Structure 1
Amino acid sequence: MQNSPSKSRSERAASIKTSRFDWQRWIDQATSLDLLTRASVLLAAGVLLSLVLRGWEPPFPYRIGYVPQRAIPARIPFQIEDDVQTDGLRVQAAREVLCVYENRKEPLVQLRGSLQDALFALRDHQNQDDFSELQLASLDLFGSQPEGSNTIALEKSELIDCIKKTLATDADLSKFDSAIRKIFDPWEEFGILHSLRHDPQKGNQRFIKVFPLGDDQHKLDVDVSRVRSAEVLVTLRGSLEREFKNQFGEGSAELLAQMVHRFISAKLPTTLTFREDLSNVARIEAVNAVKPAMVSYETTYGALVPMGKLLGPKEIRLLRTEHEAFVQQMSIGQKIQRLAATWGLLAAVTLLCGFFIYQSRDRSPITKTSKMIRLVGLAIVAIVASVFASRDPFHVEIIPVTLCAITAALVYGRPTALMLLAAISLVIAFSTGGDLPEFILTFSAAAGAILLSGRIRNRTRLVYVGFGVALIVLATCLGLGVLTGQSLEFSSDPFGNGQSTSVPLYASRLIIEAFKQFAFVALCGPLMVGILPFIEKLFDIETDLSLLELGDMSHELLRQLAQRAPGTYNHSISVASLAESAAESIGAHGLLVRVGACFHDIGKMFKPNYFVENQMPGANRHDALQPELSTLVIKAHVKDGADLARQHKIPQRIIDFIEQHHGTTLVEYFYQQAIKENEGNEDLEEVSEVTFRYPGPKPQTKEAAILMIADAVESATRALREPTSSRIQHLVDQITMKKLLDGQFDDCELTLVEIATIKQSLIKNLNAIHHGRIKYPERQTAS
């Protein structure tokens, strides 16, 4: 046989087949629907945050009560409204507005008619000594005053003679009517009032607007002096004399004017009614029409706010106006650049958190779409709520951050929660324009809440957590205030004696702010008690509170298990006790294991007599079944239990214990029995081990692995005739090693050290259960 020809080095290197990167598999994974859905969720979250937080604009970084450590200059020229001057202009406009009055001219028409009727009645009177009451009343109005009056009385005969002489003919009556109309026409058009009815501060006192009854669209500007009755009556007599002289000559015009003047003076009505509703509309329009008085600031003006000056509402308004002007003058390119920076920050913190979660034990928050949506939703709600809560005058952004921190700790555990809240605090600080102290204060509250949360086994613990975090925030707030110069001192002279005293703000404003934050954070504990059930439902988690409620032995499923399969029920209680102690010995979740152990065999209640712990002595239904069929019955309790738990809405974490507590172990008894039945029979197929294995999955958590070991050793020790300490130890070692070599612990990250600790805990507790008893001697009866 000839040897094959030798190959050169290059030929040997070329013949080596190395595994190359599977680009097609990577592309298939990257374009899978699930991955694209998760990427779309992140993209939508980024867009939403950018829109809500206005990522293209710089945030306004100042708050009421902040003490700037440097002077704040104007970045651009801008104008701000002078409130004092503008208010003065508006008050002046309100004073100058023409109030509206409605004119009802009918009383003046009636007065003119009654004047003519009285004159006609006296003109036609024949008997100088016999007057009716109406005529006497008319004479009194025309000037025939009773004796004792301060007014000079006119004789009745003189009045009547004047009337008869002046108004003798119809032509005279027509002249009189023409003269009276010239007097009354302006009154009927503009109206008469005794005094103005509106407040001097709410309307012009010299001019008013008048409109006829029912026609408010045609208003006339009227000088008040033309409608005020006192001023009208002053000029009335002269007007009457002038008109009567024009009509009747010099003879009796003066006396007739005196008579008519006295009649009108006595009966002149008010025809103008103040319309407050229309006047208010006019006043509001006038005030709104006032242009604000503006004050201009230039970049060379100097500091808008000097260094060390406490920011009050006035300073905040000035700085906000400058900020808005700065944002308005930003170009499209600048806004796009800032938006890109915002997206870069969001992408960076997202990748950082995603990489951290990917490196952790539980990757489900980023590998499962539903959990990822909840995680992103929690972050968005916390960021948006904190940004809006940080605005004046609230400053309560620490409340949503603390609530989010407690929630994240309960849902994702402390390490992931710390990374998540660090990223959220960073985004909040960036979105609110906060500096490093703001970030430190926010993250200190979040970190304190995460580290103190731990195991919540009662509602009082949440109150204590809130109080503990509040103390951390109080100390942090005071410390940051000192380090950042927020505890400055100012000089005051309280007694006015020229002696200035130094009053520390540390003792007032800073302490008040610190205790305000203390109160807000302390409130988060009781608030979390109220929303905890909703968080458990939303995130599908079980806190110790819900586990304690679920592990109550009066639960419907456990009561049914005790009634239908009492042996299985007692077995579950024993396993729960063993598994809880073993879990706590390695720092695992003992309460979760105990509750899972209580429910792990509920599937056996469908066919309880097929399981040895429920069988009566001498009765075994598997004697009539083939090993394969018996195996199917035994394995079915896992699926039946999981289905039953889902029907009763048992949490998924407990269902995982039901499905994983046997893993993919072998049903050895029936497997060996099947092998024995096939011995010597070559016609039968070889027994497949796969047929006799549980469907799994293998334990995915340390708690599930602990339950698997505890379940196996508890059942096995019951079969020991004499459960001595050495036999129990040997049995526990044997069972644990068999499952370890079978690969049942490959997916749960259980270490050999932890396995050894678990075995020691199980051995200790099994020895306590099966400890020896003292045999007391029988009592001897007296003979």
Structure 2
Amino acid sequence: MSFLDRLGLSPKPGRYSRRAGLRADRRPERETPRMSRQEVLSRVGLFLALATLALLAFPNVTVYDGTAEPGDVWQQDDVVAPFDFSIRLPDSTFASRRDSVLRSESPIFRERPEALAQTLARLDSVDARLDSAFVAYVDWRQAGARLADAREADPDRETPPDIDALRAAVRRDSVQYLTQREALTLSLSPRQWQLLLASAYDVATGRAGGPTLDDRLLGEAGRIARELLARGVLDVPIDSVRAPTLLVQDIEERSETERQRSDVVGYNQASTLARRSLFAAFPQKPDTVAIGAALFASVLDPSLVYDAEATQRMREQTLQSVLPTRGRVRENQIIIRRYDEVTQERWEMLQSLDYAQRERSGDKKWIVTVLGRTILVFSAIALFFLYTYLLRPTLFADLRQFTLACIVLGAVIFGYLVAGAVEWGGAIYVVPVSLASILLTIVFDSRVGSFATLTLAAIGGLAFGYNFPFTFATLIVGVLAVFSVRDVKNRSQILASAGLVLLAYALVLLGHELLRADPFTSDFWADLVAVAVNAALILLAAPVLWGMERVFGVTTDMTLLELSDTNRPLLKKLSMQAPGTFNHSLQVANLAEAAADAVGANALRARVGALYHDIGKMLKPEYFIENQQPGDNPHEKLKPSMSALVIAAHVKEGVQLGREQNLPEVVIDFIASHHGTGLIEYFYRKAQEAEEDPSVVDESDYRYPGPRPQTNEQAIVMLADSVEAASRSLSKPTPRRLESLIDAIVAARVADGQLDESALTFADLARIKEAFHGLLCGIYHFRVRYPDQAEEEAPSGDGAATDAASDELEVAADAAPDANEERPTTEERSTLG
């Protein structure tokens, strides 16, 4: 396993996620061809060239070495402001200002009118729990006393008669007491518990009169709580409130009042005040005071709750008004001259210049700055290279096309370099990133264009000082430009794309401008002028595409649109020399275009490939049935092997003719593959019949040279060619016969393995067959017979009456005749060729 395999960054060989649907057995995996060292070095060279150009696009600003201190004599050259920048306050001064604002900012508290009721309810709950615990305690003590009395009454007997019952009662009462006590979450020492229990036991047994200790303490706690809640009790310590006032919001009344910090009581302060009041009520009794304080803390419900979220929002709004700067230094202003004293003011200006240069150019250490830039640039460019290497291996493997993609990227990056050198802020929006997105989408596909846009937006944002508005606008507008041309039908779409780019840029810039404190400055209008120029540059797409096609040999939809014109010389010549073939090609083009649309393939490419797939027939048009006159068939004078050679030769001759006429390779591939390696079945069977031993006939001599269709569009043209030709041989092309014919032909191509190299699935084939059937039914629809028109004579063999079964048998015979059935004539079979 290679290093890239371990990282999961190598192309996956033999992955036919969609192709495997056409065969039950899995084809052996194909090894991904390894690139030679020269090919690897060429890609590395392209990568380094783009990276170097991107690094040059960064602004080259000399970074000030801010080592001087106030009171020093400036020993270096005069320092002149290279650009406008704000004078930053020293960190200590800025922090002091922020802290002062925070100290004076009133925190926000929400008032809880139900706090007193909640506190009193808690008092009642604690009182009830204490009473339950005391009752259980008294029962336990009394049960223990009865047990002791029982033992003393008859000490000579080992087991008094009721001793077991008394022991059980003692255990039950003790468990009940402990359970009730644990239900009370009071932090009391054993001594303090003993005071409470003793008071309750004495009152319960009549040893003491008056209320128990807990009742007196709870009464004091309630009184103290009423007094403090009337003032207002915070749920936070009073020390945490640094402002002299606080804002109290009443949610129910939707009001807000300001209260003095000294008028309210903090939570910790409330406990302190409660202790003081308890000491006054129970002097010289620290344990009693501690019990009362614990009871008070357990029942007090604060009436003012701190609203941290609202306070933070208000403080953030206030802190925004605290600026870290004071004043501004203008471009070309002299900051300090050589041998001048570094005053506090000049030192702050020098420090501010240092900060501004860091923001623009990175760290003041040159090596560190270059290293950081290199890492970021390499990351951005590697994104595009990894995408093509992993997900577009055919593009990555084709050095010419991949070089074209890199040249487009490099041209935009060079535009960044020029824009950075121009002293105009709006120059960055003139760089035609959208034009590059459109070009790459038309030449390759929308995903290549989208990833290139992402890469260029990232590099531009880095080169222009981490300019997020530029990055965001470039990404949004570039992707919209990709969407606008992903299916180009005519050149007017380029004009529409230019308008869309202008509108999208304007909207994004407007949204960003509305977020500024001072919107619609002069920079905004300059940026609008720049994006208008950017949109105008998109109109150069057509001539640039023309040059790219000529230099790099690529075929775009623009070229395919031009080739689809039936008035082009080659198609005109085909219509004159082989009119039947020309008409056949037109019908195949219609079928292929409809089927490609149905499965999401490139309909324009399929149509153009279908128009030119049979141009080789114009060299010997008389050997093909669609161009023959009745009774004139030269195949009757030839041996089957020679007829097969003539039929198969139209593929090779069509390829040669296409190259002579400078047809694009993508169109020539349709000519070469439209029969795949299919069998010229009629002449193969005829040759077998002519031999005593049919096995001496070599099947390979009667197959087309191939290759098999490699793309969905080529496979669709193969099927459309066979279906259109076979449909002409039907005596009565009813919808049912057409459906059976299409099914039989597609099944035969699948069984012969002609579609194995394409990415079609059975679901795609179902949609293709449906598209073929709908179009053929429209072509062969039934017409009304005019009154004076004689009724056609019923075809021989079947008679005038045909039911569903005979229809299907005849269609099947026409599509794939068996050796024992009556075969079609030479004319019918040559139509399939």
Question: TM-score, structure 2 length as denominator?
Answer: 0.54
What are the ranges of 5 or more consecutive residues in structure 2 without an aligned counterpart? 1-12, 14-28, 69-75, 83-335, 791-833
Q: Distance in 1 between matches of 2:477 and 2:454?
A: 11
Could you tell me which of 356, 369, 382 is aligned with 2:412?
382
Aligned residue for 1:43? 45
- Structure 2 distance, partners of 1:299, 1:382, is 46
Within the alignment, does 1:619 sit opposite 2:649 as a pair? Answer: no
Query: What pairs with 1:21-100 in structure 2 (closer than 5 Å)?
Result: 33=36, 35-47=37-49, 49-50=51-52, 53-54=55-56, 75=66, 79-80=77-78
Work out whether residues 455 and 543 of structure 1, in 8 Å CA contact, stay in contact via their aligned partners in 2: no
Residues 431-470 of structure 1 mapped to structure 2, 5 A cutoff: 431-470=463-502
Report the Cα distance in structure 1 between the residues aligned to 2:356 and 2:437, rounded to whole angstroms: 33
CA distance in 2 between counterparts of 1:297 and 1:712 reads 93
Secondary structure of 2:566's aligned partner:
coil
Q: Is the alpha carbon distance of 1:597 and 1:626 closer, same or farther for their aligned partners in structure 2, counting shifts above 3 Å? A: same
CA distance in 1, matches of 2:733, 2:340: 95
Deviation at 1:347, TM superposition (A): 4.4
Q: Give the superposition deviation at 1:378.
A: 1.7
Residue 38 of structure 1 and its aligned partner are, at CA, apart by: 3.9
**For the residues of structure 1 that align with 2:559 and 2:569, how far apart are their CA atoms?**
16
Does the 8 Å CA contact 1:663/1:698 hold for their aligned counterparts? Answer: yes
Larger radius of gyration: 1
**One-letter identity of the residue aligned with 1:422:** L
1:525, CA displacement in angstroms? 3.1
Q: How far off is 1:465 after superposition?
A: 0.8
The equivalent of 2:393 in structure 1 is 363
2: CA distance between counterparts of 1:80 and 1:536? 55
Mapped contact 2:61–2:357 kept (Cα < 8 A): yes
Of the three residues 760, 774, 781, the one matched with 2:784 is: 774
Alignment match of 1:630 (pick from 631, 636, 643): 643
CA contact (8 A) 2:501 2:535 kept: yes
Separation in 2, partners of 1:713, 1:26: 32
User: Which residue is equivalent to 2:384?
Assistant: 353
Aligned CA distance change for structure 1 residues 774 and 44 (closer, same or farther; 3 Å): closer
1:647 shift after superposition: 1.1
Contact 2:612 2:671 in 1 (8 A): yes
Higher mean displacement: 703-712 or 423-432: 423-432
Q: C-alpha distance in 1, partners of 2:60/2:341? A: 21
Which residue matches 1:475?
507
Q: 1:282 matched to which residue of 2?
A: none
Select 1:578's aligned residue among 585, 591, 600.
Answer: 591
Aligned-partner Cα distance in 1 for 2:551–2:716: 28
- SS of the counterpart of 1:396? helix
Matched, 1:656 2:669: yes
Cross-structure match for 1:641: 654
Q: CA deviation at 1:403?
A: 1.2
- Map of 1:725 onto structure 2: 735
After superposition, the Cα gap between the structure-2 partners of 1:358 and 1:43, relative to the gap in structure 1 and judged at 3 Å, is closer
> What is the Cα deviation at residue 394 of structure 1?
5.9
1:423 is matched with which residue? 455
Number of equivalent positions: 500
Quickly say closer, same or farther: Cα 1:339–1:779, change in 2 above 3 A: closer
- Find the residue that maps to 1:506 and give its secondary structure: coil
CA distance, structure 1, for counterparts of residue 702 and residue 509 of structure 2: 64
- Matched residues in 1 for 2:672 and 2:47: separation? 36
* Aligned-residue offset at 1:372: 1.7
- What is the DSSP-based 3-state SS (H/G/I as helix, E as strand, rest coil) of the residue aligned with 2:646? helix
| Residue 740 (str. 1) matches residue 750 (str. 2) | yes
1:193 maps to which residue? Answer: none
Match of 1:215 in 2: none
Closer, same or farther: CA 389–770 of 1 in aligned 2, 3 Å: same
- Aligned counterpart, 2:804: none
* 1:73, distance to aligned residue in structure 2 (A): 9.4
Does the Cα contact within 8 Å between 1:45 and 1:380 map onto a contact in 2? no
Shift of 1:707: 0.9
How far residue 711 of structure 1 moved from its aligned partner, in angstroms, is 0.6
Provide Cα deviations, 1:37-92, integer angstroms capped at 9, x if missing partner: 2433423541464267348x87559xxxxxxxxxx9975667546699xxxxxxxx
**Equivalent residues in 2 for 1:169-248, closer than 5 Å:** none
Residues 586 and 757 of structure 1 are in contact (CA less than 8 Å); yes or no, is this contact kept in structure 2? yes
**Structure 1 contact 53–384 (Cα < 8 Å) conserved:** no
2:749 counterpart of 1:712: no
Helix, strand or coil at the partner of 2:689: helix
Instruction: Assess if the C-alpha contact under 8 Å between 2:54 and 2:377 holds in 1.
Output: no
- Does the 8 A contact of 2:591 with 2:772 survive in 1? yes
Alpha carbons of structure 1 residues 613 and 294: separation in structure 2 relative to 1, 3 Å: farther
Q: Secondary structure at the match of 1:442?
A: helix
Q: Match of 1:40, as an amino acid?
A: S
Choose between structure 1 and 2 for higher RCO, CA contacts under 8 A separated by at least 6 residues. Answer: 2
CA distance in 2, matches of 1:577, 1:27: 37
- Indicate the residue corresponding to 2:286 in structure 1: none
Q: Which has the larger displacement, 376-385 or 719-728? A: 376-385
Q: CA deviation at 1:365?
A: 1.4
Q: Which amino acid is 2:604 matched to?
A: L
Q: Please say which of residues 403-412 and 611-620 is displaced more in the overlay.
A: 611-620
Q: How does 1:749-768 map to 2 (within 5 A)?
A: 749-768=759-778
Q: Of residues 525, 531, 542 in structure 2, which corresponds to 1:512?
A: 525
- State the 1:404 CA deviation: 0.7
Equivalent position amino acid for 1:756 in 2: A
Distance 1:38 1:764 in 2: 50
Rounded Cα–Cα distance in structure 2 between residues aligned with 1:692 and 1:343 = 61
Q: CA deviation at 1:713?
A: 0.5
Contact in 2 for aligned 1:81/1:295 (Cα 8 Å): no
Instruction: Pick the aligned partner of 1:697 from 707, 719, 740.
Output: 707
- 3-state SS of paired residue (2:709): coil
Q: 2:301 is matched with which residue?
A: none
1:392 to 2:423 alignment: yes
Report SS of the residue matched to 1:53: helix
Q: Does 1:402 align with 2:434?
A: yes
Aligned residue in 1 for 2:605: 592
TM-aligned CA distance change 1:567 to 1:508, over 3 Å: same
Alignment of 1:194-343 (within 5 A): 301=346, 304=349, 330=365, 335=367, 338-343=369-374
CA distance, structure 1, for counterparts of residue 483 and residue 341 of structure 2: 50
- Give deviations 1:243-271, integer Å, cap 9, x for gaps: xxxxxxxxxxxxxxxxxxxxxxxxxxxxx
Instruction: State the one-letter code of the partner of 1:509.
Output: S
Deviation for aligned residue 1:741: 2.3
Q: Percent identity?
A: 30
Residue 424 of structure 1 deviates from its aligned partner by 2.3
| Cα distance in 1, alignment partners of residues 393 and 51 from structure 2 | 25
CA RMSD of aligned residues (A): 3.7
Matched residue SS, 1:695: coil
Cα–Cα, structure 1 residues 27 and 574, in superposed 2: closer, same or farther, change >3 Å? closer
Conserved in 1, the CA contact under 8 Å of 2:46 and 2:406? no
Q: 2:534 aligns with which of 521, 526, 551?
A: 521
Please state if 1:548 is matched with 2:561. yes
Question: 1:293: Cα distance to partner?
Answer: 6.4
Residue 384 of structure 1 and its aligned partner are, at CA, apart by 1.8
Q: Deviations over 1:719-761 (max 9, x none)?
A: 1111111111100011111112222222221122221111111
Counterpart residue number, 2:17: none
Structure 1 unaligned residues grouped into runs of 5+: 1-20, 62-71, 85-291, 308-314, 489-504
Partner amino acid, structure 2, of 1:380: G
**In 2, distance between residues paired with 1:75 and 1:297?**
15
Partners of 1:609 and 1:39 in 2: CA distance? 53
Letter matched to residue 593 of structure 2: E
8 Å contact kept, 2:54–2:463: no
* C-alpha displacement of 1:691: 2.4
Q: CA offsets per residue over residues 517-545 of structure 1, 9 Å max, x none?
A: 43133213323344332233345344444
Distance 1:434 1:75, change over 3 A: farther
